[in-house]
Amino acid sequence: MQHTQEKWGRPRDDVYGPYDASYLNSEPRTQTLQPTVTGTSVIGMKFNNGVVIAADNLASYGSLRRFIDQERLIKVGSETVVGVGGDVSDLQTIEEIMEGLEISESYDEPAQSLTAPNIHSYLQRIMYKRRSKLDPLWNALVIGGFKNDEPYLAFIDLLGTTYTAPAVASGFGSYLAIPILRKLVDREGDQQNVSKEQAVDAIKEAMKVLFYRDGRALDKYSLAILSKKDGKPDVEILKDVRVENQNWSMAKQIKGFGTQDE
């Protein structure tokens, strides 16, 4: 113990060493500082009585094509699908959270059915809470389902930012897929004039362009088609869908990078 007036109460420097103030300059504890194993874009669009969502099956480790059978569409409740991009371990955390939500909601009698707006709100609160703890879940989420029998489509990112639109996409999809999807559904309400077949075709076309141009995309993906038949939800998740009708005919025209003829 030191007894001089300005230092009393402190351990003696000659015995314990000077006060170590380094922790004052250290940074707060954080978990995911950067994503490791990641999934690329998730895309989705509305049609006249439902929603289509797609995400490919690749989990990348940086530029390594690490896992080629990663499922990134999660069915939650009976009429909602959540598509997840970004960190895959955080995806699995979200999967567990969704499982927990389903179980706790099933205790009620009669069991309340979870709707897309419920799940959207719940996930948004989780994402915003985690960003506020500076410990984000490094994901972008696309939520598709129904609100009062009308198609419902929403987006959430790792900061808790959220919005709804008739066509949404994460990652590269927001640059490459959105222009294709917006040709059918530019503003809210346009989906009234779009059939399920048109929507599925547009999503398939967008997945093809993403495979062409996104270096972290795969030509194998899952496709969720959610529709309502007589007020009843019908959720169809097609797995191992392949990118079809690719056109590589331009390749033979390209020789060198300018002045080469042959």
Partner 1 sequence: MAGLSFDNYRRNKSLEASGVLPPKTTSTGTTIVGCKFNGGVILSADTRATAGMVVADKNCLKLHRLAPNIWCAGAGTASDNDKVTELESSQLEIHSQWTGRAPRVVTALTHLKQHLFKYQGHVGAYLIIAGVDVTGSHLFSLHAHGSTDVGPYLALGSGSMAALSVLESKWKEDLTKEEAMELCSEAIMAGVFNDLASGSNVDLCVIEKGKPSRLHRGYKQPNQRLQKQRNYNFDIGTTSYFEAGSEVFYISKQSDLETSAMEVDQVS
Partner 2 sequence: MSRFNPYGDSSGGSSLAIAGADFAILAGDTRHSTGFSIDSRDQSQIADLGDGLFLTSNGFSADAKQLVDDLRTQIKWYHHNNNDHKLSISAAARTTMMLLYGKRFFPYYVNPIMIGMADDGTGAVYSFDPLGSYDREPSRAAGHASELLMPFLDNQVTFANQLDPQTGEPRKRLDLDLQTAVDLVKDAFTGAAERQVQVGDTLEIVILTKDGVDRQYYDLRRD
Active site residues: 32
What is the chain's Cα-based Rg? 24
How do the residues of the chain divide into helix, strand and coil, expressed in percent and rounded to 5?
30, 30, 40
157 contact, one of partner 2, partner 1, none, CB 5-8 Å limit per kind: partner 2
Compute the least distance from the CB of residue 209 to partner 1, in Å: 5
Question: Does residue number 262 form part of the binding site for partner 1 (CB under 8 A)?
Answer: no
Question: Does residue number 247 form part of the binding site for partner 1 (CB under 8 A)?
Answer: yes
**Candidate residues 133, 213, 232, 239; the one interacting with partner 1 per rule CB under 8 A:** 213
Of 180 and 223, the one with the shorter C-beta distance to partner 1 is: 180
Whether residue 42 contacts residue 13, with contact meaning beta carbons closer than 8 Å, is answered with: no
Q: Which stretch binds partner 1 (CB under 8 A): 88-96, 143-151, 158-166, 176-184?
A: 176-184
Cis bond before residue 233 (omega within 30° of 0) = no
Place of tokens 């009698």: 109
Question: Does residue number 112 form part of the binding site for partner 2 (CB under 8 A)?
Answer: no
Q: How far is CA 72 from CA 28, 49, 93, 99, 157, in A?
A: 31, 23, 12, 15, 15
Question: CA 182, 125, 199: angle at the middle one, nearest 5?
Answer: 20
Binding site for partner 1 (CB under 8 A): 172, 175-180, 182, 186, 205-206, 208-209, 212-213, 247, 249-250, 253-259
Binding site for partner 2 (CB under 8 A): 27, 30, 32-34, 124, 128, 131-132, 134, 136, 155, 157, 159-166, 168, 174-175, 178, 186-188
